[in-house]
């Protein structure tokens, strides 16, 4: 299995090189190079040939001749077993094919049946049949695999046919012995076939049923091994000894003070989440938590509740946010919520600070005078030194790479981690991508929130929409009007937003203060604009997706999203979460004209549900995990067979199995190493 591909017959240096290029370096790699689809070429002998259909039939060669015409061609006269005439026609390689077919040869041919004065197949797939050994057929007469190929592979005759031949030869080798990698107990419990049988059946299935069973078994193998890896990874990480310890839950005076100082009472979910996060800190290893909650569920204050336990014990905490606007807002929230205290000193560090204030902040961080710092990427930079960082909080964690997170973490002595998501992440993705984090859920939103009424409008209702915005603004509410903004069409998007803004300001709502905010503005301008809006001076804020993240203005009750069909579900849900944060009835209008089927599904889901956990599942289905999480940031496991949406039950099952059956053999480890490239996993020996 693990021998090099070069040991196979017919594979010299040149072919081995292109195979390696395609990720096939060993025989095992070849066997895990799965077909992308199949052609059903099981032989049909019972029905007559019909023009226009694909067919696979056994024929006997009668004669061959070259027909000269506009294009000369080789014609091979054949007869099927039902004595129907069938011509095989070859326009290319006439000289070659002429040598290939002899009178009375028995062939299996497969192709499309055409009619040109008689039934014929042009350039069919064919194979000479050795009548003694029908089972040796590779290319026809069976369900035939089609492989993904590349130009480089094709040049070396490693197209579907070539790969088929190569793979088939591996299975024909009597010495082939594919070791089992899933524990036998699990195979028994789930009634899966053995590995060798499954690999053979996925390449050369005897029937649609055996193909399905093989796929199931191999999918399971993939998920099970992945999960075993994650179990070990988690254990490796959990072995980072704890060097910092916050005050235990229930013992913090600062926390008690915070509870009385807050303008609201924490929800049961928030209290439970804070307790759960601190329970982790009583263990001997550094803790890492993924705090999952729907948009607006109050994650910030939950993180704050945990943080004060660290501050009280003389440790520092840092909160990392993806944008300036958000970092500033967090800073303000934290200052407001904690009130004046001798214990808590909050600082802010972003790229926008003046050099002088930055230097001061850095000094205070190093000396410990600031014990709670809020900031953007600037926090990750080298000059930032902590006295004793005990807790790292990452907001909107998907905006940061693992490397950035670790770099910041290394600035402390194994600090604890709380990562927060913008909107919920589907459970299967949590199990796979974030299995090394302990998941803490905030399932409910604070009481008294009205669900956001969401409706989708076409262009012809625009005037009615404006009228309704006017009504709400006149009643004292504020409104967001959001334009899409993506990198690929940034210039055009910006123009749309700017023109939209001009139109709204001058002709639609000349009597209200309308403002524009987008990511390209200078930081002081952004700040001023946000402040005006937060204070309620600005009634209507035209903006791009910069406000997607975290912005919290409770009096904003209406959101209009232009070109809503261009956004993904989670993004729309997150945007929509900017309203419905106060006591007022809130509305979200999705403007979209003609839409694709996918977009239709997204918008309908948004109209019908306000539940981020549910919408996340739909998003996973529609967009897939890569899009959902942003492939770039995550070393997202690249599953060959498993689909995290379709196979979600199996994901959960295999996760449970992996925890119970975590010991795997060396063959299984080698699969993990080559399929998931997780160099960092340390297996217990
Ligand atoms: P998210 O989970 O989306 O980050 P935030 O932390 O921004 O949510 O909180 C959303 C809003 O809910 C904020 O205005 C916050 O002040 C408010 N909030 C948080 N917890 C409560 C609570 N227990 N009761 C009432 N309002 C709350
Ligand atoms: Mg938030």
* pLDDT one-digit tens code per residue, 363-380: 999 999 999 999 999 999
Q: pLDDT of 55-109, one tens digit each?
A: 888 889 999 999 888 888 999 999 987 888 999 999 998 888 988 899 988 888 8
pLDDT at 314 over 70: yes
Q: Residue range 521-533: average pLDDT?
A: 87
Q: Residue range 411-417: average pLDDT?
A: 93
Which ligand does the CA of 267 lie closest to? 1
Whether ligand 1 lies within 6 angstroms of the CB of 371 is answered as no
Q: Give the residue, 92 or 674, on which the prediction is more confident.
A: 92
Q: Is the pTM of this model over 0.75?
A: no
Whether ligand 1 lies within 6 angstroms of the CB of 302 is answered as no
pLDDT at 303 over 80: yes
Mean pLDDT in the chain? 87
Whether ligand 1 lies within 6 angstroms of the CB of 292 is answered as no
Classify domain 42-141 at the CATH topology level. OB fold (Dihydrolipoamide Acetyltransferase, E2P) (2.40.50)
Mean pLDDT lowest among 187-196, 330-339, 444-453, 557-566: 444-453
| pLDDT band for position 547 (cuts 50, 70, 90) | low
Q: In this predicted structure, what is the pLDDT of residue 680? A: 47
C-alpha separations of 203 from 34, 145, 415, 517, 668 in Å: 7, 6, 49, 56, 21
Q: Residue range 390-403: average pLDDT?
A: 86
The reply to whether 452-609 shares the fold of 42-141 is: no
| pLDDT band for position 419 (cuts 50, 70, 90) | very high
Whether ligand 1 lies within 6 angstroms of the CB of 612 is answered as no
- Domain chopping of the chain, boundaries: 1-37+144-175, 42-141, 253-442, 452-609
Taking the centre of ligand 1 as the mean of its atom positions, its distance from the CA of residue 578, in whole angstroms, is: 11
Q: How far is CA 381 from the centre of its chain?
A: 28
| pLDDT band for position 628 (cuts 50, 70, 90) | low
Ligand 1, residue 299: give the atom nearest the CA: 2
Q: pLDDT of 485-522, one tens digit each?
A: 766 677 888 788 899 999 999 999 999 999 999 888 88
Which ligand does the CA of 395 lie closest to? 2
Whether ligand 1 lies within 6 angstroms of the CB of 264 is answered as yes
Whether ligand 1 lies within 6 angstroms of the CB of 581 is answered as yes
Query: Cα separation of 600 and 177, whole Å?
Result: 50
Taking the centre of ligand 2 as the mean of its atom positions, its distance from the CA of residue 576, in whole angstroms, is: 13
Residue nearest to atom 9 of ligand 1 (CA): 298
Query: Cα separation of 26 and 30, whole Å?
Result: 6
Classify domain 253-442 at the CATH topology level. Rossmann fold (3.40.50)
Taking the centre of ligand 2 as the mean of its atom positions, its distance from the CA of residue 288, in whole angstroms, is: 18
Beta carbons of 295 and 372 less than 8 angstroms apart: no
Taking the centre of ligand 1 as the mean of its atom positions, its distance from the CA of residue 534, in whole angstroms, is: 15
Whether ligand 1 lies within 6 angstroms of the CB of 298 is answered as yes
Beta carbons of 348 and 373 less than 8 angstroms apart: yes
Whether ligand 1 lies within 6 angstroms of the CB of 205 is answered as no
Q: Residue range 553-572: average pLDDT?
A: 91
| pLDDT band for position 470 (cuts 50, 70, 90) | very high
Residue nearest to atom 23 of ligand 1 (CA): 266
Angle at 83 between CA 79 and CA 88, to 5 degrees: 20
Q: In this predicted structure, what is the pLDDT of residue 350? A: 92
Residue nearest to atom 12 of ligand 1 (CA): 298
Whether ligand 1 lies within 6 angstroms of the CB of 115 is answered as no
Whether ligand 1 lies within 6 angstroms of the CB of 297 is answered as yes
Whether ligand 1 lies within 6 angstroms of the CB of 580 is answered as no
Classify domain 1-37+144-175 at the CATH topology level. DNA polymerase; domain 1 (1.10.150)
Classify domain 452-609 at the CATH topology level. Rossmann fold (3.40.50)
pLDDT at 280 over 70: yes
CA dihedral 642, 644, 647, 651 (to 10 degrees): 90
Tell me which long-range contacts 654-660 makes (C-beta under 8 A, separation of at least 24): 654/220, 654/223, 654/224, 654/226, 654/227, 655/223, 655/227, 655/431, 655/435, 657/186, 657/224, 657/227, 658/224, 658/227, 658/228, 658/230, 658/231, 659/227, 659/231
Q: pLDDT of 571-619, one tens digit each?
A: 899 889 889 888 889 999 999 987 788 888 889 999 999 889 899 888 8
Angle at 423 between CA 476 and CA 529, to 5 degrees: 40
With 0-12 CB in 10 A as exposed, 13-18 as middle and 19+ as buried, what is 188? exposed
Ligand 1, residue 270: give the atom nearest the CA: 23
Residue nearest to atom 5 of ligand 1 (CA): 298
């Amino acid at each position: 299995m693990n021998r090099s591909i070069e040991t196979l017959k017919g594979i010299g240096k040149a072919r081995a090189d292109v195979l390696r290029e395609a990720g096939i370096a060993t025989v095992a790699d070849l066997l895990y190079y799965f077909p992308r689809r199949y052609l059903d070429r099981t032989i049909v002998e019972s029905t007559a040939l019909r023009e226009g259909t694909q067919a696979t039939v056994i024929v006997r060669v009668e004669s061959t001749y070259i027909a000269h015409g506009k294009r000369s061609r080789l014609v091979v006269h054949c007869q099927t077993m039902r004595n129907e005439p069938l011509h095989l026609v070859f326009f290319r390689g006439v000289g070659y094919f002429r040598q290939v077919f002899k009178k009375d040869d028995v062939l299996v041919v497969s192709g499309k049946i055409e009619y040109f004065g008689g039934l014929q197949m042009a350039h069919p797939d064919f194979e000479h049949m050795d009548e003694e050994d029908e089972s040796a057929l590779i290319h026809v007469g069976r369900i035939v695999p089609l492989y993904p190929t590349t130009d480089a592979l094709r040049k070396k005759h490693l197209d579907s046919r070539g790969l088929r031949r190569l793979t088939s030869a591996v299975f024909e080798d009597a010495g082939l012995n594919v070791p089992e990698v899933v524990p036998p107990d699990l195979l028994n419990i789930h009634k899966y076939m053995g590995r060798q049988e499954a690999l053979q059946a996925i390449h050369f299935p005897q029937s649609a049923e055996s193909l399905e069973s093989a796929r199931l078994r191999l999918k399971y193998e993939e998920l099970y091994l992945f999960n075993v890896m994650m179990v070990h990874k988690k254990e490796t990480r959990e072995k980072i000894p704890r060097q910092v310890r916050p005050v235990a839950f229930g013992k913090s005076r600062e926390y008690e003070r915070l509870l009385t100082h807050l303008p609201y009472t924490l929800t049961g979910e928030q209290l439970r989440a804070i307790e759960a996060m601190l329970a982790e800190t009583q263990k001997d290893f550094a803790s890492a938590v993924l705090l999952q909650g729907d948009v607006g569920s109050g994650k910030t204050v939950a993180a704050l509740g945990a943080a004060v336990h660290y501050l009280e014990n003389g440790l520092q905490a840092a909160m990392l946010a993806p944008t300036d606007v958000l970092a500033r807002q967090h800073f303000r929230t934290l200052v407001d919520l904690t009130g004046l205290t001798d214990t808590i000193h909050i600082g802010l560090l972003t790229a926008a600070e003046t050099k002088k204030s930055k230097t001061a902040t850095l000094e205070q961080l190093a000396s410990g005078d600031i014990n709670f710092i809020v900031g953007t990427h600037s926090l990750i930079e080298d000059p930032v030194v902590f006295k004793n960082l005990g807790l790292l909080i990452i907001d909107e964690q998907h905006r940061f790479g693992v490397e950035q997170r670790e770099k910041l973490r290394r600035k402390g002595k194994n600090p604890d981690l709380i990562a927060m998501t913008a909107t919920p992440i589907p459970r299967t993705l949590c199990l796979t991508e974030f299995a090394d984090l302990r998941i803490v859920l905030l399932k409910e939103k604070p009481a008294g929130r009205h669900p956001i009424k969401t409706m989708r409008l076409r262009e012809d209702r625009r005037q009615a929409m404006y009228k309704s915005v006017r009504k709400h603004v006149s009643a004292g509410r504020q409104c967001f009007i959001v334009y899409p903004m993506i990198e690929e069409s940034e210039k055009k998007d910006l123009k749309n937003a700017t023109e939209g803004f001009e139109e709204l300001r001058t002709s639609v709502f000349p009597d209200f203060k309308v403002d524009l905010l987008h990511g390209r503005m200078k930081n002081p301008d952004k700040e001023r604009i946000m402040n005006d809006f937060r204070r309620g001076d600005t009634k209507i804020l035209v903006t791009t997706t910069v406000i997607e993240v975290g912005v919290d203005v409770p009096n904003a009750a209406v959101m209009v999203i232009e070109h809503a069909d261009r956004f993904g579900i989670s993004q729309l849900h997150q945007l929509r979460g900017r309203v419905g944060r106060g006591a007022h009835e809130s509305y979200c209008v999705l403007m979209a004209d003609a839409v694709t089927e996918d977009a239709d599904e997204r918008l309908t889901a948004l109209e019908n549900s306000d539940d981020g956990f549910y919408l996340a599942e739909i998003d996973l289905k529609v967009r897939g995990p890569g899009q959902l999480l942003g492939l770039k940031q995550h070393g997202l496991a690249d599953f060959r067979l498993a689909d995290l949406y379709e196979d979600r039950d199996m994901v959960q099952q295999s996760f449970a199995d992996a925890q119970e059956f975590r010991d795997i053999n060396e063959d299984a480890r080698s699969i993990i190493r080559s399929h998931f490239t997780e160099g960092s996993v340390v297996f217990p020996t």
